[in-house]
């Protein structure tokens, strides 16, 4: 039975997946996934390559309909949920025009766009490259543009898919402070990461996925000190459980 319900997900959670099943290439890549994201704080989703982390973000964002199971949340406005992809796609325009386009899509009134645009460029520290073609920027700068573009929606739930993979320490720092700022403004952040240090620095909660199911849900303090599930223990020991 497939249920896609806009309703209160359950106390304390902003969104909840229940028994979500997704078939791809003849197998269940999400295999009865139960996943609740707490309203408060930053949740890191961890797990080995192919565990279904990116797909679960797509399901939360409503981009992919599960073959079975339910998605529960009370986020009725399309702009309540924003997603920054593992490989962000920027438009073939300048940085400024990318952000202006996003503000137009998000329905920001024309007379306000100028002011908001200035704020966004400052917030992402993008003012110096505002008039460069967005796709000519470095990987880290492009990630920052994608992040600011997502935040321009003023989402209540921000989904980030490995936002600092392949970035140098300084660019990682810049992205991480954007994430902390967004969380401080009250946005619920879900962050997919392979980086234990990053999870330590940012996350309040951890959800560990393995082969399309949730094997552990814990507070970051507890999980990062001593994961309980054998899958997570093997992952951190560098062993792949297949």
Partner 1 sequence: MTGFGDAFAAAFGLIARMDADLVEIVGLSLRVTLSATLCACLLGFPLGAILAVGRFPGRGVLTVLVNALMGLPPVVVGLVVYLMLSRAGPFGALGLLYTPTAMIVAQTILVTPIIAALARQTVADLDAEYHETLRSMGAGAGARMRTLLWDGRFALMTAALAGMGRALAEVGAVMIVGGNIDHVTRVMTTAIALETSRGELTLALGLGIVLMVLSLALNALVMGARLSGARMSHA
Q: Which one among 55, 59, 83, 117 touches ligand ATP, defined by CB under 6 A?
A: 55
Which of 23-31, 111-119, 166-174, 180-188 is the region at the interface with ligand ATP (rule: CB under 6 A)? 23-31
Q: CA 150, CA 7: separation in Å to the nearest integer?
A: 24
Is 163 within 8 Å of 132 (Cβ atoms)?
no
Secondary structure tally for the chain: helices H, strands E = 8, 10
Q: Shortest Cβ distance from residue 154 to ligand ATP (Å)?
A: 26
Q: What is the CA radius of gyration of the chain?
A: 18
Choices 6-14, 45-53, 88-96, 181-189; region in contact with partner 1 by CB under 8 A: 88-96
Under the binding rule (CB under 8 A), the answer on residue 78 touching partner 1 is yes
| Residue 24 contact among ligand ATP, Mg ion, partner 1, none, beta carbon within 5 to 8 Å by kind | ligand ATP
**What residues between 12 and 71 interact with partner 1 by CB under 8 A?**
58, 61, 63
Contact between 93 and partner 1 by CB under 8 A: the answer reads yes
CA distances to 26, 70, 117, 123, 219 from 43, rounded to whole Å, are: 30, 20, 28, 23, 9
**DSSP H or E stretch at residue 81:** strand 81-84
For residue 92, the minimal CB distance to ligand ATP (Å) is 26
Angle between helices 139-151 and 95-105 (to 10 degrees): 20
Q: Which of residues 25-54 bind Mg ion (CB under 5 A)?
A: 54
Smallest separation, CB 193 to Mg ion (Å) = 10
Cα 103 from chain centroid (whole Å)? 20
For the segment 177-206, give every residue that binds partner 1 (CB under 8 A).
none
With a CB cutoff of 8 Å and minimum separation 6, the contacts of 216 are 206, 207, 208, 223, 227, 228, 229, 231, 232
Chain contacts with ligand ATP (rule: CB under 6 A): 24-25, 29, 47, 49-55, 86
Chain positions contacting partner 1, by CB under 8 A: 58, 61, 63, 78-79, 82-83, 85, 88-89, 91-93, 101-102, 104-106, 133, 135-136, 149, 153
């Amino acid at each position: 039975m497939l249920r896609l319900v806009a309703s209160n997900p359950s106390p304390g959670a902003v969104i909840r997946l229940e028994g979500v099943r997704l078939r791809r290439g003849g197998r269940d890549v999400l295999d009865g996934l139960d996943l609740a994201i707490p309203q408060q704080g930053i949740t890191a989703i961890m797990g080995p390559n192919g565990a279904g982390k990116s797909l679960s973000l797509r399901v939360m964002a409503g981009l992919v309909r599960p073959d079975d199971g339910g998605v529960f949340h009370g986020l009725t406005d399309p702009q309540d949920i924003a997603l920054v992809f593992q490989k962000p796609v920027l438009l073939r325009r300048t940085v400024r025009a990318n952000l202006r386009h996003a503000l137009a899509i998000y329905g920001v009134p024309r007379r306000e766009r100028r002011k908001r645009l200035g704020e966004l460029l400052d917030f992402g520290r993008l003012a110096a490259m505002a008039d460069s073609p967005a796709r000519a920027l470095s990987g880290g700068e492009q990630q920052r543009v994608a992040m600011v573009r997502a935040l321009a929606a003023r989402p209540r739930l921000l989904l980030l898919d490995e936002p600092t993979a392949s970035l140098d320490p300084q660019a990682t720092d810049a992205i991480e402070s954007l994430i902390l700022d967004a969380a401080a403004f009250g946005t619920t952040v879900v962050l997919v990461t392979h980086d234990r240090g990053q999870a330590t620095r940012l996350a309040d909660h951890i959800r560990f996925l393995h082969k399309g199911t949730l094997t552990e849900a814990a507070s970051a303090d507890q999980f990062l000190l001593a994961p309980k599930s054998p899958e997570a223990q093997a992952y951190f020991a560098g062993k792949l459980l297949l």
